[in-house]
């Protein structure tokens, strides 16, 4: 296990038992045989998961993988149950990262509102900052983005 006293001492440990992994190009699919859930990992999440052996802190993971938003990446892996431990405490995240996330969420909300008048017959819009790489879904003639994790590692749609 690991201790999480500060960002520099937080050493994530990936869960590796009970998974089947398929890699195709830059896409990694992780099938959790215990929860019967498939996780589609971005290249950043896959790199973070593969290197999280409990011996590296967040800074080392960032340097070794080239993942720039390592705190967010590891947080997503913890939320999905792919990394052991509690979610990263918000105080470990930089104020700049939190503000950037808030700005992205505001932009996403504006984008979805502006596209509400567009019929779903058109190509789905991109979902800026959408978790789990989930595309927009058509509900009631309106494109909507994923709003978060429903607790079992899948996307909870708006």
Residues 83-115 have pLDDT tens digits of 987 656 554 445 455 455 444 444 444 333 333
For position 66, what pLDDT does the model report?
92
Q: What is the pLDDT of residues 23-72, one digit of tens each?
A: 988 889 999 888 888 999 999 999 999 999 999 999 999 999 999 889 99
Q: What are phi and psi of 76, to 5 degrees?
A: -65, -40
CB 71 within 8 Å of CB 44: no
Residue 157 three-state SS:
strand
pTM to 2 decimal places: 0.52
What does the domain layout of the chain look like in residue ranges? 13-92, 95-157
Distance CA 3, CA 57 (A): 10
Residue 87 gets the label, from left (phi > 0), alpha (psi -120 to 50) or beta, of beta
H runs (alpha helix) in 33-150: 43-51, 58-65, 70-80, 95-115
Helix (H, G, I), strand (E, B) or coil at 142: strand
If you write DSSP's letter for every residue of 113-133 in order, what string do you get? HHHTTS-TTSPPPP-TT-GGG
Q: What is the pLDDT of residues 130-143, one digit of tens each?
A: 555 566 666 655 55
Cα–Cα separations (whole angstroms), residue 17 to 11, 46, 110, 129: 19, 16, 41, 30
Query: 3-class SS at 31?
Result: strand
């Amino acid at each position: 296990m690991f201790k999480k006293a500060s960002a520099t001492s937080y050493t994530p440990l990936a869960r590796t038992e009970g998974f089947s992994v398929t890699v195709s190009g830059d896409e990694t699919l992780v099938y959790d045989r215990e929860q019967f859930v498939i996780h589609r990992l971005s290249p950043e999440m896959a790199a973070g998961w593969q290197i999280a052996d409990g011996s590296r802190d967040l800074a080392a993971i960032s340097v070794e993988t080239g993942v720039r938003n390592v705190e967010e990446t590891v947080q997503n892996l913890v939320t999905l149950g792919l990394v052991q431990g509690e979610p990263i405490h918000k105080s470990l995240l930089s104020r700049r990262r939190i503000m950037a996330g808030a700005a992205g969420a505001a932009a996403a909300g504006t984008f979805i509102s502006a596209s509400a008048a567009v019929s779903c017959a058109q190509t789905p819009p991109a979902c800026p900052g959408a978790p789990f790489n989930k595309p927009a879904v058509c509900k009631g003639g309106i494109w909507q983005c994923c709003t978060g994790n429903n607790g079992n590692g899948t996307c909870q749609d708006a």
